[in-house]
Structure 1
């Protein structure tokens, strides 16, 4: 299993990141934790066009809850011919519930859209077992996702 950009978001995640950065229409990026038990393959996750499609085959770890990403930035780097989306680390305080397996970052166009309208952008390995302590998903130094020569 690996980190991936979903097929529906390839070439568009910077647009969604910039829209979330601006907060246009209440748009935001949201982190959704998937339970480790019964995870579909990366290929199946990559093919999902909505969060509802992911949740039709995977189980959300609801005890930790969804988190809106803060500090979202989208940037284009003409020197390296790349574009990136970044955000602050995400922390779940006193996390509980079943073991986790994946973290989905989805674009919410209104800030309160139904799962059928949330667009999954990236899926990350996130194997932790909540034990009542804080859990932090550290966004990589290079950013949440980087597109090079795309």
Structure 2
């Protein structure tokens, strides 16, 4: 489950996930962004950011390691989501992600963000941050496997 949910996405995470899964709009996607340890702002500050551009405009920086890139999850990468009626909740998950041969240069990572991108050409100012997950790792040239949480990246209750 997330370390925190961005205020802009509260009550919308399942909707945004479903929009991507249903292709509404067709080129919408979820974007995974890693944040570097150096300069990362506190959760209390980050959760009030309204866009990915806002997140990256402060002291917080995206990871720059060779081998790191933003992961893009389109409709085909996601599974259908249905409410769990027995437990009165909806869990959503993403597949584990692998970054190949992530190099040390660029420094350690602090968090990963899951964001909603409305279209392929959307600038960071249009990308909505949804959830943040603590992900402390110091790349060493080997593969980095990202598993958000075995029970999913978000639970709506």
Scaled by the length of structure 1, the TM-score of the pair is 0.92
CA RMSD of aligned residues (A): 1.4
Give the equivalent residue in structure 1 for 2:72. 68
Secondary structure in 2 matching 1:76: coil
Matched, 1:139 2:148: yes
Give the equivalent residue in structure 2 for 1:16. 16
Structure 1: tracts of 5 or more residues without a match: none
Q: How many residues align?
A: 147
Structure 1 runs of 4+ with >4 Å offset: none
Does the CA-based 8 Å contact 1:72-1:85 persist in structure 2?
Answer: no
Matched, 1:99 2:91: no
Secondary structure in 2 matching 1:75: coil
What is the correspondence of 1:1-150 to structure 2 with a 5 Å cutoff? Answer: 3-24=3-24, 25-57=26-58, 58-63=60-65, 64-69=68-73, 71-73=77-79, 74-96=81-103, 97-148=106-157
Scaled by the length of structure 2, the TM-score of the pair is 0.88
